[in-house]
Structure formats: structure tokens, C-alpha cells
């Protein structure tokens, strides 16, 4: 599934569009940066509530094309600017991390069938 298809389906508040043609390979959820560094795979969507600049550094390091901020968390100005510069999508959803991950699971599994 393409990044832009996920954005269109979730109908979030889009902070940065990113590269809409990137293929999404999976989802990782977590708020501990060291966990994401150790476990995330290239092409995954990252669901978190962290809103500071270091989130973008981890996304760049792990080649994550999109960050979803759950529970209505708004990114810091620095995070939004860096994601724009690095062409990383960043979106805000009102749902909890659990709820948005359940939606993503259905989307990605329906697309695989």
C-alpha cells in the first residue's frame, strides 16, 4: 500500500505530506526512541505520542516514511520543520495508538489479500 492511500483513508490532520508514492511495509508503535532504533524496519509507519525533534532523527536513521502522532498530539515546530525538510510525512490523529494501529492492521491486511 502507498503512503498517500493510508493518509486518504485515515483522514488525519496532515502536517507534512512526505513522499506519497512510498510503499508502506508495516507499522511499528512505541515511544521509546531506543526501542524504535533497535526494532523499526525501513518503510514502516511509526505510531507514537512523542512530539520532539529527536523523532525526526530516528525516522531518518531508520528510513521511516511516515510518523503518526496519536491521541491528538501536535508536533513541535522543530519536528514539523525537520520532517518537511527530510520529506517525511507527519500526521495527527485523534485516536489512541491502539485504535490507529487496529485501523492500520486492517488496511494493510486487506491490501495484501
CATH number at residue 70: 3.40.1390.20
Report the distance separating Cα 26 and Cα 93, nearest Å: 18
Please give the tally of structural domains in the chain: 1
The phi and psi torsions of 72 (rounded to 5 degrees) equal: 70, 15
Of 58, 61, 63, 60, give the one whose Cα is nearest residue 31: 58
Residue 56: domain span: 3-112
Reduce the DSSP state of residue 29 to 3 states and report it: strand
Q: pLDDT tens for residues 9-66? A: 999 999 999 999 999 999 999 999 999 999 999 999 999 999 999 999 999 999 999 9
Computed over its alpha carbons, how large is the radius of gyration of the chain?
12
**pTM for this prediction:** 0.95
Amino acid at each position: 500500500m502507498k503512503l498517500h492511500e493510508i493518509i486518504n483513508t485515515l483522514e488525519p490532520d496532515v502536517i507534512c505530506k512526505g513522499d506519497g508514492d512510498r510503499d508502506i511495509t508495516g507499522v511499528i508503535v512505541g515511544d521509546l526512541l531506543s526501542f524504535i532504533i533497535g526494532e523499526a524496519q525501513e518503510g514502516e509507519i511509526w505510531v507514537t505520542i512523542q512530539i520532539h525533534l529527536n523523532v525526526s532523527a530516528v525516522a531518518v536513521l531508520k528510513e521511516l516514511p511516515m510518523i503518526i502522532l496519536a491521541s491528538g498530539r501536535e508536533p513541535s515546530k522543530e519536528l514539523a520543520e525537520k520532517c518537511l525538510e527530510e520529506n517525511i510525512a507527519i500526521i495527527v490523529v485523534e485516536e489512541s495508538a491502539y485504535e490507529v494501529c487496529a485501523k492500520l492492521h486492517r488496511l494493510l491486511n486487506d491490501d495484501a489479500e
